[in-house]
Structure 1
């Protein structure tokens, strides 16, 4: 019974729609009506800017970390990664936002942070290298996850491998519209990385 209650709490933590709440409260915008229509970190950066995007990133990572930490905090006989799945589900289908959520990349990273901090750092490094090379968050996420899954095989963590494999399929499915835009050459790119050139015609003070 206690584990079921913790699963519900983890789901509710994941359901906190930080991008939607920050957008409507401080910017008067529902970010689901702008940009890609997604409520996650990337669209928050795109629609509301760096400050809001950073806050949403931290919030989305934190709720994954908190959810995955519940077994440790309450001495539950369940793997933190399994508990973290409830938060990932909540982020993707949030009860507080009409079940229209984000793609769970940041929340998944938060779960990994609680479960295995060194592997989290390694995984973030893979993502950042891919992001620098491609300048596309979606592409970097979809390529990083299979690499992370393979890496988890090397360290012999079968629970991590299984969940990472499930997340790979799930997150690629959630990025199906991004895949279409990547193929069409219309996917949004971040303003840095390989091949990015700043506007040299900006006015000087």
Structure 2
């Protein structure tokens, strides 16, 4: 899967500005901020040590986990929409990718962030809103049949760039494909557990 990036019409200053805006928005560690604000301490010291919604849920606060999921997604959407509005589509694509990297490697907390699925979806919402439904359908179908949340998300991230490519959105497809590769890399421990049959299923206790 390749894209002709020679057709991109964006100046270096605008590209750098888009990357900076996206990264700074994406690097906001909402899971950590919300749990601390709620008096639940440092979410990095429980469970997987991750700052994402799944680990926030391990605090026992479902509303806080839902808020983390929503905000982690919307910071990606905001990065795309803001830069697209002021600088154009290509700037939005760059900002979206930078927001994804910011979530995974936030400068504020030692570059140790989340795994990126919520932010991936938020970026997708900003770039190609109709594809969010495709992602949701794939995720729900697999989650219902396999009960593996991680597997459902990983397969959904594979489907998205292919669907975008087929629809002719080559630049967005290329960006999402790169984010998919990084998402799989961040989920390597989950993949090992899936292959070993030890990955936790949805609804499983412990």
The TM-score normalised by the length of structure 2 is 0.85
CA displacement at 1:90 relative to structure 2:
0.4
Q: Deviations over 1:67-114 (max 9, x none)?
A: 011223313462422220010010000012211100111111111111
Which of 19, 22, 30 is 1:7 aligned to? Answer: 19
Distance 1:9 1:100, change over 3 A: same
Aligned to 2:177: 165
Which of 92, 96, 105 is 1:80 aligned to? Answer: 92
**Are 1:29 and 2:41 counterparts?**
yes
**Are 1:110 and 2:110 counterparts?**
no
Alpha-carbon distance in structure 1 between the residues aligned to 2:30 and 2:152: 22
Moved more, 108-117 or 132-141: 132-141
Which of 107, 112, 129 is 2:141 aligned to? Answer: 129
CA displacement at 1:162 relative to structure 2:
1.2
Give structure 1 stretches of 5+ with no counterpart.
199-205
Q: How many pairs does the alignment contain?
A: 193
Give structure 2 stretches of 5+ with no counterpart.
1-12
Contact 2:18–2:91, Cα closer than 8 Å, also in 1 = no
Aligned to 1:93: 105
